[in-house]
Amino acid sequence: MGRKNRRLNKGRVSRIGSYAIASSIKDPTCISCTTFNILAPIYKRLDHEDPSYRESDVKDYWLDRNKRILDWLLCERSSIICLQEFWVGNEEMVSIYDKRLGDAGYTNFKLARTNNRGDGLLTALHKDYFRVINHRGLLFNDFGDRVAQLLHVELIAPFSQCRNSNVRQELLIVNTHLLFPHNSSLCLERLRQVYKILHYVESYQKENKLNPLPILLCGDWNGSKRGHVYKFLRSQGFVSSYDTAHQYTDADAHKWVSHRNHRGNICGVDFIWLLNPNRYRKLLKTSWSEAVFGMFKYQLRRASLTEDDAFVFLKTDSQGDYITYSGFCEALRQLNLIGHCNGLSAEELQELWVQADIDGNGVVDYKEFKQQIWNASWFEERDEVGDEVWDDVMNETEQTIGFSVKNAVLFPTEVEKGMWPENYSLSDHARLTVVFSPLRMPCSRLTC
């Protein structure tokens, strides 16, 4: 009977669509978040025979499309709006969004990509729900000129379940747009971008002596549930809000899509990630090393190497039954993970080697290779706060809120069934909206 109810619930969630979610958004005890890559006019091609002809060349076109986008956003009225590919380089576009969002009660924060790329990010927070404590821009200064926004906010809505004055009602919001994986050499750079975001968030919390807060990571991640970025975020305790609402597992990558890219492929790349403050988190450097080793193993298996073959491949310059640092580096070079502008740095190589060489004797034997490289676990499902992360900042006398996922929808609704509608013209991305219900976290290292 329970299994049948779960099936019925999954069907109900997937059928409610963008219209019916309005009742959840209007619930005064909830907050909502929308992430949407709105396809900058400077990138939208109008003529496939002439790729230089863009929507930005025809004002009537980009103006009409963006007015329709704003109509949808303001009809939905999420308390958090995270936009990517916002045309920050066009003053008229910026003015239109500032005016309409401002009139609707939003405070807007914009961040351009580096090197005058023309587009960037816009995060809008509704004044009825949030007080902004701090906001910062993170410039990756990398190959793709990518950026991220970090906003530290306090909830001011009357959340009845969290009225106790000892309950901290704050959260961290990140909006970003990762590099597109044009080729395999950029996979490592994309992983590095996520590491920079998580490291920046972790540093911000420690610098400001903050107890663990809920974190929302929103945006266009340019990678699916099958990719290394997805697994890296899962290893840090984050959950995909949309998948949580629909009770999808990590293996259900085919059940929804959110983007049709310039190559005509459709995939699910837009996420609102949630990390609650009582979730277990591995040390960030440990997760980073495991993610890179996972990429390393993927390359070895693509070359049809077994575990034993891979060990032999790594110890080619060794006369003994072990891997040397030089052999390790040479193998990474052959697999295109070092030796180019997006490859591993000398410092990153050394950190990986330290992770692999468990006993610190300067070589990696077969047991270490198997444990740290070949069989390294991506993530573990744990509930408690990781002692190794928060020992230095935990205040035993203060509680905090977390969030449960109440609802989540993608628009257009066809994408929830893994299909891309040909008549959809707002963007080459779907719009994702998630409704969260604040709740007091269960006892862990937090005092109830």
What's the confidence (pLDDT) of residue 25?
Answer: 75
Rounded Cα distance between 245 and 79, Å, is: 18
Of the candidates 290, 276, 303, the residue with the CA atom closest to the CA atom of residue 401 = 276
Q: Name the more confident of 143 and 108.
A: 108
C-beta of residue 315 within 8 angstroms of C-beta of residue 323: yes
- Specify burial of residue 388 (Cβ count, 10 A radius: 0-12, 13-18, 19+): exposed
What's the confidence (pLDDT) of residue 251?
Answer: 86
C-beta of residue 120 within 8 angstroms of C-beta of residue 86: yes
Q: Report the pLDDT averaged over residues 332-342.
A: 81
Rounded Cα distance between 405 and 239, Å, is: 10
The band of 375, judged by pLDDT with boundaries at 50, 70 and 90, is confident
What's the confidence (pLDDT) of residue 2?
Answer: 41
**Is the pLDDT confidence value at 365 over 70?**
yes
Q: Which amino acid is at 351?
A: E
The 10 Å Cβ neighbour count of residue 437 is 17
C-beta of residue 144 within 8 angstroms of C-beta of residue 182: no
Look at residue 134 and give its three-state secondary structure.
strand
The band of 28, judged by pLDDT with boundaries at 50, 70 and 90, is confident
Q: Report the pLDDT averaged over residues 273-280.
A: 89
What's the confidence (pLDDT) of residue 60?
Answer: 97
Share of the chain above pLDDT 90, in %: 55
Q: Name the more confident of 348 and 172.
A: 172
Rounded Cα distance between 337 and 79, Å, is: 41
pTM of the model: 0.85
Per 3-state DSSP, the chain is made up of helix, strand and coil in percentages (nearest 5) of 35, 25, 40
Pairing of strands 215-220, 167-168: unpaired
What's the confidence (pLDDT) of residue 219?
Answer: 98
Contacts of 426 by beta carbon, 8 Å cutoff, 6+ apart: 38, 65, 68, 69, 72
Of the candidates 136, 209, 212, 225, the residue with the CA atom closest to the CA atom of residue 174 = 136
The band of 146, judged by pLDDT with boundaries at 50, 70 and 90, is very high
Q: Report the pLDDT averaged over residues 32-40.
A: 98
Rounded Cα distance between 83 and 119, Å, is: 11
The band of 376, judged by pLDDT with boundaries at 50, 70 and 90, is low
Contacts of 50 by beta carbon, 8 Å cutoff, 6+ apart: none
Asked if omega into 158 is within 30° of 0 (cis), the reply is: no
Mean pLDDT of the chain: 85
Look at residue 12 and give its three-state secondary structure.
helix
Ordered structural domains, the chain, with CATH: 2-282+381-440 (3.60.10.10), 287-374 (1.10.238.10)
Q: Report the pLDDT averaged over residues 46-54.
A: 80
Q: Name the more confident of 394 and 399.
A: 399
What's the confidence (pLDDT) of residue 3?
Answer: 42
pLDDT in tens, 103-122: 999 999 999 999 999 999 99
Q: Report the pLDDT averaged over residues 377-398.
A: 40
What's the confidence (pLDDT) of residue 391?
Answer: 35
Dmax over CA atoms of the chain, in Å, equals: 72
What's the confidence (pLDDT) of residue 400?
Answer: 77
What's the confidence (pLDDT) of residue 164?
Answer: 55
What's the confidence (pLDDT) of residue 442?
Answer: 53
Which of 44-48, 59-63, 347-351 is least confident? Answer: 44-48
Rounded Cα distance between 65 and 120, Å, is: 18
Q: Name the more confident of 281 and 220.
A: 220
Residue by residue, DSSP assigns 72-118 as: HHHHHT-SEEEEEEE-TT-HHHHHHHHHHHHHTTEEEEEEEPSTT-S
Share of the chain above pLDDT 70, in %: 84
Q: Which amino acid is at 372?
A: Q
Any bridge partners for residue 148, and if so which? 138, 176
What's the confidence (pLDDT) of residue 166?
Answer: 62
Residue with tokens 């410092």: 347
- CA triplet 65, 66, 70: central angle to 5 degrees? 120
